[in-house]
Chain A
Amino acid sequence: MKRFLNKLFVFTIILVFFIISTGSFKYYTLVIGVIVSAITTYLFESSIVKKTLRLYDVLKLLYLFKYIVYFVKAEIHAHLELVEIILFNKPIKPAIVAVPYHVESDYGVTLIALTVTNTPGTIVLNIDTNSKLMYIHWINASTFNPDEARLIITSGFEKLVEKIFG
């Protein structure tokens, strides 16, 4: 069977979602769940995961864990800064800065953009795929230079995302 690991990966995720959202573990629901997720996997697997997975890719879950830890740290830092701005009237300096990115895959760019928008204080306004630039609205900009802004905002995430999605 071609791309067996891909199919197994997508199938397991859909089945787990099904079991959790129905909230029961009986024989009847399990059979329906297996049938539904097999059909969904057969139809949509090739459009969800583009490249062929190998067994070695399980190691990337470690980097995903590291990514979550880094994300939580960045969240705490940004939340404290926003609380200072809102409650204690810390002076702000809003700006839209251009930040270059070097990730190739679509999933990687999406993950970086979602993370940057999820962090309070930075919102991705626009992405230019030709020149590989993100335009970020920054509530308290310490620099307007693209490379320095990249060091502060995205470079830490980008290193880990490159290892996860390539």
Chain B
Amino acid sequence: MSELNLVFYGIGLGLIAIGSFFEVVGAIGVLKLPSFFLRLHALTVSCIGGSILPLLGVAILAIGLEEMGSQRLFITAICLISVFIILILAPSGSHSLARAAYNSNTAPKQPLEYDALSRGVNKD
């Protein structure tokens, strides 16, 4: 293993380690925070920090594995495309969850200090 590959390997493993830390933080947040809307914020932490960072880590780590031949480039490209798709789909999902929960009054909104949406807005 040459030195440059070792650097790629180290960066990849480091990103995966940081990602697992954010995953645990997100899980604790989902259990600990008081209301539905606040839990959605913790969910965003484990989406961006917990799944996109490790994917980037795997992409960089795959570049460094020279014995895999040209297939490693495909692994890198698939990881990058998954990052792109998650960046589009995950916020759409949490936005529609939040909007549905707000408009149907299913989830309790407290604690909430100020609500600009409740004063005479058409909700469509």
Give the interface of A toward B (CB within 8 A): 17, 20-21, 23, 75, 79, 82-83, 85-87, 92-98, 113-114, 117-121, 123-126, 128, 135, 137, 139, 141, 144, 146
Contacts and interface: CB of A to CB of B under 8 A. Distances in A.
Given A21-B78, A95-B115, A139-B41, A118 B102 contact: no
Contacts of A118: 44, 47-48, 87, 90-91
A164 to B, nearest CB: 16
A97 B98 contact: no
A83 B32 CA distance: 12
Nearest 6 pairs between A and B by C-beta? A117-B91, A95-B114, A86-B29, A98-B116, A120-B44, A20-B77
Contacts of A124: 95
A135 B116 contact: yes
Interface of B: 22, 25, 28-29, 32-33, 35, 37-38, 40-42, 44-45, 47-49, 71, 74, 77-78, 81, 87-88, 90-92, 94-95, 98-99, 102, 111-117, 121-123
A82 B41 contact: yes
Describe B's contact surface by its main secondary structure.
helix
Given A86-B25, A114-B92, A141-B114, A20 B74 contact: yes
Nearest to B121: A128
Nearest to B75: A23
Given A123-B41, A128-B122, A86 B33 contact: yes
B97 to A, nearest CB: 9
B75 to A, nearest CB: 9
Contact of B95 (A75, A113, A146): A113
A86 B117 contact: no
A67 B22 CA distance: 23
Given A20-B77, A23-B74, A123-B44, 14 more contacts: A21-B78, A79-B45, A82-B42, A85-B29, A86-B42, A94-B37, A96-B112, A97-B116, A98-B117, A113-B95, A117-B95, A121-B41, A139-B38, A146-B116
Contacts of A121: 41, 44
Nearest to B32: A86
Contacts of A126: 99, 102, 117, 121, 123
Nearest to A121: B41
A125 B48 contact: no
Contacts of B47: 118
A155 B49 CA distance: 24
